Each structure stands twice: as structure tokens, then as C-alpha cells.
Structure 1
């Protein structure tokens, strides 16, 4: 519900739009949630969101079993958009978190680890969560590639089958915005829920809440992780008083996110984050490759077999880097210099980490890391 009606095109008038007002409210929430102990606000909020997600996922699973929709999306599109990227390497970064997720690796160390009852629960929680994430990815594929064909309403009337799918997935590749992608999922999911007796408007509301819940779980968690990163960088540089302070580091994280969110983007004020959205898929998978390198170092330090990590590391270094190089070259042709700068920086950082890993590999064999201090030994351990 809008708090203010849009009042003109100027910067200050645009700040009164409902999108910007809610953005500012959420930024304040992120600051508060990120400086409090995990169990004070972030964990209860996650607890509520998890129930929303479980209920929605269970309803979608029931809908799939009841509807048994046929896939209408062609296995091979005979008329792909002229500007569509090649299957290789982009197939492996399109379904990002549902296959493998570098961001979730950061979350597991930054927030999940602080909520475990015991260390032995980490395998069940971590592995089980990613299996569920993969199941959700399969549900999304079914909703977009099959359930969408059960029928959609368009300006040209009711469409079903492959024509319904084409109504969403047509035109140029670049015109397939995030909003259109989410819209296809919501409509397809609404069809599935309709089969089990949920009215169309309620079904759309349930799925919209589900999508918003995913965004909500990311906001405060990502802010907290960014605060950790800033504090660790400050500690490495010998600065524990300024950016090493959790309040200053959190303020810097929130300010950076707020500046990006509030600058004019593709959809106007409040959509600045969409400017960097094209970086997400490849960056997420590159982070997963870096996480696999960390896992390999854990194994070699404890004299355990490390060969099992060779193929995942190779795939998660080569394919995302390949995609990022192609995208960066395309952005350079389009003179999108901000994306070019970030893309090039990410590739350079990846190369740096790989070089550091190669240099440290032999020195790490059999050298177990120092034991961690007891829980609560430091005041920051409970942040």
C-alpha cells in the first residue's frame, strides 16, 4: 500500500514514492537486525519466513501431483531470440542457487553456524537445506515450463498450451526482465494452486508472499555478512576502531546498499539494484567455486582425500568465468562501463584467490588450523 503518491519527476519528489519510502524503512530494519545478536531479530524473522516458504512449497507440490501438467516449453526452441546467449556456458549459471550457490556458502558461515544446536547438526541442516533449494528449483521449472500452459489471461484473451508459454517467453532476450521472469512463475504457480481449490487471487497472493519472503531473508542476512567482511578487512589492515567497529561497518554496508537501491534504475527511482542484477548468476557461481577451494584446503589440512573436489572446482571456475568474460565483452560493446568495471574486478579477484591457493597448497598439507576459542570467549562471537 503506497505511503505517498508519486509527485513529479524530481529527485526529492521521487523520494516520496512508495518504493523509496519502503526502501528506507527496510534499510533501517537491516541496520538494526545486523547489529543485534542473531537470535534477537534475524532468527525469529527467519523462523516466520521459513513457515511461509514450507507451506507454499507444500501447496505447490500438491498442485503438481494433482494437475500433472504436461511440459509445453519446447526442449529445443526452433526460433530463439537473436540476442540469446549460447547454451554453453550460460546453462550452468541460469538456475543459480537451485544448483549450487556461493552466497549460501557465505550465509552458512556467517549466520547458520550461529544457530546450530551442535556442530554435528551442520551436515543435516546444510545439506538438507540445499537439497530443499534444489527441489524448489525443480518446482520453478515445472511452474514456468509446464503449469504456465494450463492457461493465462492476455490482452488477446485466454491462451493455453504452448501459446500461453509463448505469451511470456517471446521477443528479444534483453526484454526478459526480472519482473517478467517472476511473473511467469507466479502465473504458473497460481494455475497449480487452482487445481487444489485455491481461488486465483488468493493463489497469486500466496506465491507473491513466497517470493517476497525470499527477498526478506536475504536483506538482513546480506547486510550482516557485508558487515563481517568489512570488519575482517579492517582487522587485516590493522584498523579495529573505525571499520572494525560493528556500528560503523554496518552503517557503511547499509549506506552502500541504500545508495545503490535509491539511484535511478531501469524502472526509475528505487530500482538501482537492477543495474547490477546481470552480474548475479556468474558471480554467485564464482563464489561457489571459491567455497569449493576452501573445502579442498580443509580436506588437505586434515589429510583427507581431496580428489573428490577436483571436478567441482574445475567446473565452478571455468564455466562462471567463461560466462563473465563473455558478458563483460558484451557490456563493453554496449558501453555499460559500470558493469564492465565490476565484471573485470570480479574476474581479477577470482584469479588472485586461485593464485594464492596454488602458492599455499603444498604448505597446507597436514597442517591443521589452530583450534577456535571457546564459545563466548570474545564479545564479538555472539554478534
Structure 2
């Protein structure tokens, strides 16, 4: 099948389903109201709760949920073939991921912007709430620790990306100053900011920066420390200072990157150089786990990801200005991520065949290029391998438009690193919310302040990162668990959404109920297989943590099921309970 046809058909499908299924979900299932007061308005504090234009918050939400997820997942799952990867991304994003993200967002907005872990107590019970807190803390703990390393690895692979990624910060701060302090027009000045960022991209291509070892700490460790310091600062600033303007720049960067990729697909296809070289289906790749259920665990972002529920009910629900904006932000962002994942699949299934340089310096094309890079699961699964497959394949396609391959590499390297940076400090901010909510619920208010909660989030991640030495690679010890943790969280979030909808009467719950059953089955299946594998490897750490996750998944599934069947068919107003209006930092609002 033509890569061009795949892209056009997929994009048309996403647009059509947004207009049909998305609007049906918003209008008929969740009954969005333009008159309901959003928490960003009723609890505005100028720091976390800030009513925001939907295009701006779309930029934040999308760049936060995306990160490197829709890149690394498809880039390794292609080893089972491009057909199952594409089907899962398309179907999953429309009927599972978008429902999951949008449902988590709107329920949080109807509960003062509280996290999904916190409002679980309201819709199920307190036991479930604390189990959810454990799972969420574990996921964010790994994310914060690993993403410092992810960015460090990208910087090592593409040193030309270092300068533009760091220069984006002062550009974003100045953009925020102009818009929020000086009242300048957001469209014009955001375009100027993006142009300024791409000027630094061009400069970076000729001024690559390589981090040396410092005081015996390898470059990856140094970058991890610097990035976690940055995450602490960025996640405690008001969202209008850095988070919103930077993510608005990143959303423009996304549009530029996707436009270049789309142009590259057209140019490569019309020149006859773009052929799909990956197998359509490959059920038993060398050393790979079984496609069922691990395809659905490996591709998370791009199809459905539990981390999205944390962004939806963490930062985004505190900034969406009205319920009617939530569909564009929550449902629309997921379909945009599906579109990005589709382009990634094309890049690693076809773009890589246009030219691939091996470690020995040999340049391969066609099936030989793909087969060499994806010779085994071990060869494809490493972080550097995943990123390189996408960046090189994308740069090949972009170069077909006449843009220098060298510049295309930098553009895509900056794109990956920028999105990873967004995920890093958004995850840190959300972890602060989680820590504050947890300590508020146990009446330890002295640990709920913005700075102390953020310090706890960062120092625990730092401890994990350096648990195995100065290289900052400690989180890799738990990384084999991340896919299962993340998809378990997605399954459990769908259970909460299902229970919420059951309480509103009728059969509305079906839109989340069917996806929740599918995801619960797949994730528990994967957890059981992992438990067996870790036992065979005599890996006590992974065995223990995986067992905890498995118990939590089964427990919450049972609690959610019991709650579901205890709700009668009549509409119950689950949103009228008296709630203490407490901000995430423990201060009265």
C-alpha cells in the first residue's frame, strides 16, 4: 500500500471522526454546557488555575501528552508489522484514547480540577483512591526520572539540538511577558517567537554543544541534574510565565514539523523514492515478546495512554476556560497525536528505507535498511534506536523537499527534545499536585505547599535516577515496567469514567465501558506475562513492583465493577456532593 495513501486516508478519517464521534461524545454523552463555571474561572489564582484561550491550552495539552511517546512506541512496535501498528493507532486513538483523555478532563473540570486519583474516592471509594495514588505516584516517579535521561540521550545523539532547546526557554518567557503583561497579540508574537526559535535551530546546526564529564559525573548525569533543577523551577512558576507560552511555541513547532513531514511524504512519493519496506505483519520477530498483548502496551501515546489522564485532570483541567472548549482540547489533542503517530509509522516503515547508515558507516537502502535496524527486538528496543529510526526516516523524507538533510536532522532532534522537556516539567507539576492532594487528605498540610511538594517530587526522582551510579540511568531499572504501569492506569481511568457515566443514567457508559474491558484484559494479561518473565530472570525488584501493580489493577477493577453494578439505572447527580474548596497546595480558595 502507498505511504501517501495511508497518510491521506488516516488524516481524513481522524477529521471525520472528530466531527462525528467526538461531537456525539461531547453533546450526547457528557452534555457539555457553555454556562457551567470551569474551575479555571471559579478558582482562578494566577498560578495554576488560569482561564486560557482554547488554542493556547490545546498547545500545552498536546505537547504534554505527546512528549516522545507517539515516537518511541510506534518506532519499536513496527517490528510486528506496520498494519497492526497502524490499526491500533487509528482505532485506539478514536474510540479509546480520545474518550479516555476527554472523559478524564471533563470529570476533573466538574470536580474543581482535582486529579483522577483524588476524585476516584467520590465515584468509587477511599480504598480505590489511595491505590490510585500509589499507581500515579509510581508512574510519575519513573517519568520524571527517565525523561531527564531521555533528553540527555537526545542531546548526545544530536548535539546541534542543545542550543535551540535551551534558547526556547527565554524566548517563551519573553513571549509570555509580551502577551500577559503588555497585552500584545498572541498570534503575531507567537509566530515571531517560532521564527526566532528556528533561527536558533539554524545556528545550532553549526554550533553543536557536547556536554563534558563534570567532577567525575558523565554527561548524562550532568544533564539529568540540570534538567531536574529546571523542572523544579518551571513547575513552580505561574503557568503564564513559561508553561503556556513555551507550549504554544511547541504547538507551532509541531505544526511546522508535521507540515514538513507531510510535504516530505508527498515529495518522496511523487519522486518514486518512498516505498514501505517494513513487513505488513510479522508475528514472531527475533527475541520479541508476543504481539498479543504487548502491541497494546508498547504503543501507548498515539493510541491510549494513562499518562494522558494525569495531564487532563492535572494541568489542563485547571486552565480550560469552559466545558465547550474541553472537546477541542481533550478529544482533539488525542486525534492530533494519532496523526503524529501515523507519520512516525510512515517514517519508520518507509522513510528509513530511503537511506540508513549503520554503525560501521555503511549506507543501506530499501528492505536491507529496515531489516538491519530491526534485526531483533533488542536492536530496536533501545531508546537511541527508537529515536534514531524516526529522526533519520523523517529527515530522509524532509530532505526530498530540498531542505538540507543536516538541517532536517536538527529540526527533528529539537522537536523530540522539546516535547520531552514539556513532558518533564508538566509531569513534575502534576506530581506536585498529587503529593499535595495526598498529604491534604491525610491532614499533613505542612507538606502540601508548592515548594515543599515540588521538592519531594524532584528529590525522589533524583534519587531514582542516580540509584545505580553517576550516569543518571537508575530509572532504567524500572523502565521495563513503565508500559504496563501506564496502560494499567489507562484501563483504571476508563473504569472511573464508566462508573461516572453509569451514574448519569441510560447506556452512556458503553462508550467508556467497552474500551475499559479491553484495556483491563490486555494490561492484566501483560502484567501476568511480565511476572513470569521477571521470575525466570530472578529479578526480585521487577517481580516485586510488578506484583504490586498487578494487585492494584485487579483490586481497582473489582472495586469499580462492584460500584458499577451497585448504581441503578436512574440518573444520579454525582456532582452535587459538598466538597471542601481546597486548592492543590492546601490553601483555601
Find out whether 1:340 has 2:547 as its counterpart: no
Find out whether 1:297 has 2:505 as its counterpart: no
SS in 1 for 2:363: strand
Find out whether 1:321 has 2:524 as its counterpart: yes
Q: 1:78 to 1:277 in 2, by over 3 A?
A: closer
Identify the residue that residue 94 of structure 1 maps to in structure 2: 298
Identify the residue that residue 105 of structure 1 maps to in structure 2: 309
- TM-score, scaled to structure 2: 0.59
SS in 1 for 2:279: coil
Cα displacement string for residues 85-113 of structure 1 (whole angstroms, at most 9, x for unaligned residues): 11111121221110011111110111112
Q: Among 164, 170, 178, which residue is 2:383 paired with?
A: 178
Q: Among 126, 132, 141, which residue is 2:345 paired with?
A: 141
| Residue ranges of structure 1 left out of the alignment (5+ in a row) | none
Aligned length: 372
Cα displacement string for residues 222-279 of structure 1 (whole angstroms, at most 9, x for unaligned residues): 111111222222222222222x2332221111011111223337xx712222222222
Following superposition, the deviation at residue 375 of structure 1 comes to 9.2
Q: Is the 8 A contact 1:279 1:343 kept in 2?
A: yes
Take 1:378 and 1:95, find their aligned partners in 2: how far apart are those partners? Answer: 32
Take 1:295 and 1:67, find their aligned partners in 2: how far apart are those partners? Answer: 43
Q: Is the 8 A contact 1:38 1:382 kept in 2?
A: no
Q: 1:326 to 1:289 in 2, by over 3 A?
A: same
SS in 2 for 1:368: coil
Following superposition, the deviation at residue 125 of structure 1 comes to 1.2
Q: 1:172 to 1:95 in 2, by over 3 A?
A: closer
- TM-score, scaled to structure 1: 0.89
Take 2:535 and 2:403, find their aligned partners in 1: how far apart are those partners? Answer: 48
Q: Is the 8 A contact 2:491 2:519 kept in 1?
A: yes
Following superposition, the deviation at residue 355 of structure 1 comes to 2.6
Identify the residue that residue 32 of structure 1 maps to in structure 2: 233
Q: Is the 8 A contact 2:449 2:585 kept in 1?
A: no
SS in 2 for 1:110: coil
Take 2:462 and 2:341, find their aligned partners in 1: how far apart are those partners? Answer: 29
Identify the residue that residue 129 of structure 1 maps to in structure 2: 333
Identify the residue that residue 276 of structure 1 maps to in structure 2: 478
Take 2:221 and 2:294, find their aligned partners in 1: how far apart are those partners? Answer: 33
Find out whether 1:54 has 2:260 as its counterpart: no
Identify the residue that residue 217 of structure 1 maps to in structure 2: 422
Take 1:241 and 1:381, find their aligned partners in 2: how far apart are those partners? Answer: 11
SS in 2 for 1:26: helix
Q: Among 400, 408, 412, which residue is 1:203 paired with?
A: 408
Take 1:133 and 1:368, find their aligned partners in 2: how far apart are those partners? Answer: 31
Q: Is the 8 A contact 1:38 1:114 kept in 2?
A: no
Take 1:37 and 1:223, find their aligned partners in 2: how far apart are those partners? Answer: 14
Take 1:146 and 1:85, find their aligned partners in 2: how far apart are those partners? Answer: 24
Q: Among 254, 265, 273, which residue is 2:458 paired with?
A: 254
Q: 1:290 to 1:77 in 2, by over 3 A?
A: closer
Cα displacement string for residues 32-73 of structure 1 (whole angstroms, at most 9, x for unaligned residues): 222233223222221222222221111111111221222101
Take 1:93 and 1:307, find their aligned partners in 2: how far apart are those partners? Answer: 23
Take 2:380 and 2:256, find their aligned partners in 1: how far apart are those partners? Answer: 32
Take 1:214 and 1:379, find their aligned partners in 2: how far apart are those partners? Answer: 27
Q: 1:234 to 1:170 in 2, by over 3 A?
A: same
Q: 1:232 to 1:364 in 2, by over 3 A?
A: farther
Q: 1:381 to 1:289 in 2, by over 3 A?
A: farther
Following superposition, the deviation at residue 313 of structure 1 comes to 0.8
Find out whether 1:351 has 2:557 as its counterpart: no
Following superposition, the deviation at residue 314 of structure 1 comes to 0.8
Range 278-287 or range 102-111, more displaced: 278-287
Instruction: Give the number of the structure with larger relative contact order, counting CA–CA contacts within 8 Å between residues 6 or more apart.
Output: 2
| Residue ranges of structure 2 left out of the alignment (5+ in a row) | 1-208
Q: 1:113 to 1:327 in 2, by over 3 A?
A: same
Following superposition, the deviation at residue 293 of structure 1 comes to 1.2
Q: Is the 8 A contact 2:235 2:428 kept in 1?
A: yes
Range 17-26 or range 254-263, more displaced: 17-26
Find out whether 1:6 has 2:213 as its counterpart: yes
Q: Is the 8 A contact 1:292 1:312 kept in 2?
A: yes
Q: Is the 8 A contact 2:219 2:471 kept in 1?
A: no
Q: 1:232 to 1:204 in 2, by over 3 A?
A: same
Take 2:308 and 2:587, find their aligned partners in 1: how far apart are those partners? Answer: 20
Identify the residue that residue 117 of structure 1 maps to in structure 2: 321
Cα displacement string for residues 207-227 of structure 1 (whole angstroms, at most 9, x for unaligned residues): 111111221111111111111
Q: Is the 8 A contact 1:60 1:189 kept in 2?
A: yes
Q: Is the 8 A contact 2:354 2:365 kept in 1?
A: yes
Range 166-175 or range 337-346, more displaced: 166-175
Q: 1:54 to 1:342 in 2, by over 3 A?
A: farther
Q: Is the 8 A contact 1:263 1:269 kept in 2?
A: no
Q: Among 288, 301, 313, which residue is 1:84 paired with?
A: 288
Following superposition, the deviation at residue 168 of structure 1 comes to 0.8
Take 1:88 and 1:118, find their aligned partners in 2: how far apart are those partners? Answer: 40
